[in-house]
Structure 1
Amino acid sequence: MGEIVVVRDGSGPDVLLVHGGAGPRTTWGALAPLAARWTLGYVHRRGYPPSPPSQKRQDFEVDAGDLAPLLVGRPHVVAHSYGVLGTLIATAAAPDGVRSLTLIEPPLNHLVPDDPEVARLERIGDAVLTHGMGTDPDELREFLRLAGAPVGDGPLPESVVAGVRRAHGSRLTSEARPRLDVIRDAGVPVLVASGGHTSALERICDALADALDGERGVHPGAGHFVAAAEGFAERLETFLRSLV
C-alpha cells in the first residue's frame, strides 16, 4: 500500500505525533516551539497527503500496521482522538518500542459502560462515520462541535464537509478493543489529557488513565484540540523530561 509519511522537525529525543480526524497542522501546530529541544515527527495518517490514500476506509488496524515500523527507535508517542486507537494497538504489540504515551481524548467509549452521556457520544460518532453527510443534521452538528470543527448556525464550511466525507465509512471506533492490560503490565509511562469541554470525554479519559496507571491532565480552552490549550505544551514537556 506504500509507506506513510512522517515529516520531522527539530533536534533532540524523538516525539512521534499521531493525529486523528484533523490533519497534523491543525492538531499539533501549537507544539511547534518544542522543536527547539525535541525532534517532532509529524505522522500523516493514510488518507492525509502527502501519505498515500486509504485503499477502502480509515481503519485503526491499518494505522497500527503503519505505526509499527516507526516504533523501532523507541520514541515518545503523542496521539489524538482516532489516532489513539492505532497507537494503542501498535504499542500493545510491541510495548518495549515506546518510551512513553501521551493520549488525548480518545473515543474509547467502552471503558465507561452504562453511562448515558458516553453511550450517546458513541452513537452519534458511529452515525457520522456510517452515514457521513447523511447523518441527522442536528446530530452531525453536535458531533462536529464536540470534535472541534468550526461550526456555526449557517452552512457547514467546505473544509468541514471535506473532513466528514473523508471520515465517511471509517471503521467504527466502537469496534476498538486495544490491549490496555499489556501496556500497563509493561510499565509504559502514560499521560492522559483532555480539554474539560464535555463530561463524557472526561470520564473516558479518567477511565483510561486508571486502566493504564497513567498520569492525568485537564487543559481547558481549546475544546477537543487539547494540544493548543494554554499550559498543555509545558505539561507535556515536563512529562517527557521526567523520562529522559
Structure 2
Amino acid sequence: MTVEPVVGVVRTGSGPDVVLVHGGAGPTATWAGLESLRPRWTLMSVYRRGFPPSPRPPGGGQDFEVDADDLAAVIGDTRPHVVAHSYGTLGVLVAAARSPASVRSLTIIEPPLYHLAEDDPRVRALRRLGDTVLTEGPATDPAQLREFLALAGSPESLSAGAMAAVRRAHGARLPSEARPRLELIRAHGTPVLVASGGHSPALEQVCDALADALAAQRVRAPGAGHFVAAAPGFAERLERFLLSV
C-alpha cells in the first residue's frame, strides 16, 4: 500500500528522480548550484518538518527518526537517487538502512555523525558545540553561536535569518544520538558518494570515516563552505557519480 508523504516535495527538471534532503537550512539555500542538472534529472526537493509547507515536527523538535519515516513515504517504490546534507543525512541514512533496496544511490554531504571519529579532539569539540546550540538555542553564548553559524555557512553571523534558523533547530534530537546501521547499507552494496567542502578539519575526519564505513567514493569540493552543492565543479562531479550507478 502506498503511503502519501506528509512533507512537501517540489519537483523541477526532467529525467530520473533525485531526491534532495536539506539540513538546518532550507532547500533553496542548500541546493543552489545544482540548477544545471534540471535538463537531465528530476530534482525532488523535500521540505523537512518545520520548513513550510511541511508541518511542524511532533513535539516541536526536529527528529531524524521522524525524518526517516517521512522520507520512506517520499521514496515509496520509485527507487530514486538520494542526496542529503548536514542534519538531513541522519534521517536518510536511517531510512536507507531500514530498506537498502529502496534507493538507487546515496550522496551524503557533511553529516554530523561524530561517533565515527570520536577519537579526534576536533570532532569532539564540534560535537559539543553543535549539541550546545541545539540544546540552548538563542540562549547560547554569542561567541559559540558565531562559531557554529560560521561553520554552518551563515554569511552574516547573528543576522535575523541566522537566528531564525537557530530557533527552528532549538530542541532538535541531538545528532550524537544517531546510530544508523551503516553495515546494512554497505552489505547491500548501495553506491555511495561522501562529499565535504574542505572548510572544517573535524568534518573532513567524519566524512573520511563514513566513506571507509560504507566503502564509498569520496569527493572534496572547496569554495562554498558548508553549502557544498554550490562549490565550483560539484554539480558535475555529482552527475558523473549518478551516471555511474
TM-score under structure 2 length normalisation = 0.96
Q: How far did residue 115 of structure 1 move? A: 1.0
Moved over 4 A (4+): none
Aligned to 1:14: 17
Please report the RMSD computed on the Cα atoms of aligned residues, expressed in angstroms: 1.1
Percent identity of paired positions between Structure 1 and Structure 2:
65
Letter in 2 for 1:103: I
Q: What's 2:178 paired with?
A: 176
Which residue is 1:42 aligned to? 45
Match for residue 191 of structure 2? 189
Q: For 2:150, which of 145, 148, 165 is the aligned residue?
A: 145
Separation in 2 of the partners of 1:178 and 1:192? 15
Post-superposition shift, 1:203? Answer: 0.5
Q: Distance in 1 between matches of 2:32 and 2:222?
A: 17
Q: Give, in whole Å, the separation in 2 of the partners of 1:198 and 1:73.
A: 35
1:5 aligned onto 2:8: yes
Report what 1:108 is aligned to: 113
Partner of 1:67: 71
Equivalent pair of 1:5/1:51 in contact (CA under 8 Å):
yes
Aligned residues: 240
Aligned amino acid, residue 214 of structure 1:
A
Unaligned runs of 5+ residues in structure 1 are: none
Which of 74, 85, 90 lines up with 1:85 in the alignment?
A: 90
Aligned-pair distance for 1:32? 1.7
1:202-241 alignment runs, 5 A limit: 202-241=204-243
Q: Give runs of aligned pairs for residues 92-131 of structure 1, distance below 5 A.
A: 92-131=97-136
One-letter identity of the residue aligned with 2:243: R
Distance 2:91 2:35 in 1: 23
Q: Matched residues in 2 for 1:221 and 1:3: separation?
A: 35
C-alpha distance after superposition, 1:213-241 (max 9, x if no partner):
00000000000000000010000000001
- Listed as ranges, the gaps of 5+ residues in structure 2 are none
What secondary structure sits across from 1:29 in the alignment?
coil
SS in 1 for 2:10: strand
